[in-house]
Amino acid sequence: MHMRVFYVREEEVWGISRKHLLVTESNEGIEAGLIHKYFTEGHAYEVILDFLEKRHNIVLSLRTLKRRLQNAGLTRRIDYTPIGTVHQTVAHELRGSGRLLGYRAMWQTLQQKYHLTVKREDVRQTISRLDPSGVQLRSRRRFVRRGYVTAGPNQVWHADGYDKLKPFGIAISGCIDGFSRKAMWLRSGSTNNDPGIIAQYYLQCVSEFGLLPARLRTDCGTENGTMAAINCTLRSQHTDDFAGALSHMYGTSTANQRIESWWSFFRKQRTQFWIELFSDLRERHLFNGSHEHKCLLRYVFLGILQKDLDEYRQLWNNHTPSDLFACLCPSGKPDAMYHLPHSLKTHYFKNDFKS
């Protein structure tokens, strides 16, 4: 079998510097999957190339990327999905939590979740026909918060609990990066008040990314104590200005601006559906708030809800924010801002974590 190889940049693997990493035909499936992923997330060609090089050590020319996309049948300009299929898919989303999405977020959902090729204007018109009352509600102006500035990815992570589903026995914990607004974790369970559970979410996240935030911001709740202690301990061996005890900040929940603002988007675009669904069960006397009913509700819905949260996290991390935020602070797709900070003339605050 003919074997093609190409070289990628130097990387550090298990402490051994390798100047030449050979990538063979067996890796082409992985490469094709990555190209498909970043293309369907809506990134520009230059950003896709940047992701491949900086995150995966795959160096391609623009011409090669376009050829790979053409061979895979991936294009943004032709072969639009039939409008009937778009109509049916939007109608399906509107029957679930997708009814909370605006047309831009719905357009992104159709691309990433269903791999449809559709014009954004067609999505807007479809939603206007299928859900005119929802369009009217979303068109109301929202409260605009003050500007927020941080130097780069991982300089500050903001962690907090979300309690709007607690009356139904479900608690949510989340964390976002202050610079990019990337959702680092979004988890549901029976409680978000157990310090051990919150610490587990944190450790799973830093293990996944292989790094620690320069600073971690939480409110003063006891559920955050173990996570704060672990973060300070792991950062104690570093030498930057915020090493050790300075790597954690306590503050009031309302002052934890970045994630408090994010929760408002989260409710409008996702949890309002679940609040209304569970409230309907209560109004129909199918749920009475007892411990047994909460356990039953979690047994039936928790897995479905977590899948919905995972989809929302993916959608959020690759959405394009409105022009409102561009004048207040650096703006762009959260994933691109987080992984490619050099495009915004800043750098990655990386404090290595070894599990």
Quick: pLDDT tens for 263-320.
988 998 899 999 999 999 999 999 999 999 999 999 999 999 999 999 999 999 998 8
Residues 6+ apart with CB under 8 A from 336: 43, 47, 51, 343
Higher confidence at residue 98 or residue 335? 335
Split at pLDDT 50, 70, 90, the class of 60 is: very high
Split at pLDDT 50, 70, 90, the class of 254 is: low
The region of weakest confidence among 56-70, 118-132, 210-224, 287-301 is 118-132
Residue 288 has a pLDDT of 96
- Across residues 8-28, what is the average pLDDT? 43
Residue 309 has a pLDDT of 97
> Which of 47-56, 233-242, 280-289: highest mean pLDDT?
280-289
Percent of the chain with pLDDT over 70: 85
Percent of the chain with pLDDT over 90: 51
In the predicted model, is pLDDT for residue 216 greater than 50?
Answer: yes
Higher confidence at residue 335 or residue 326? 335
Residue 167 has a pLDDT of 97
Q: Residue 148: exposed, middle, or buried by beta-carbon count in 10 A (0-12, 13-18, 19+)?
A: middle
Residue 213 has a pLDDT of 94
Higher confidence at residue 98 or residue 225? 225
In the predicted model, is pLDDT for residue 24 greater than 90?
Answer: no
Residues forming beta bridges with residue 171, ordered by sequence position: 189
The region of weakest confidence among 18-27, 134-143, 219-228, 255-264 is 18-27
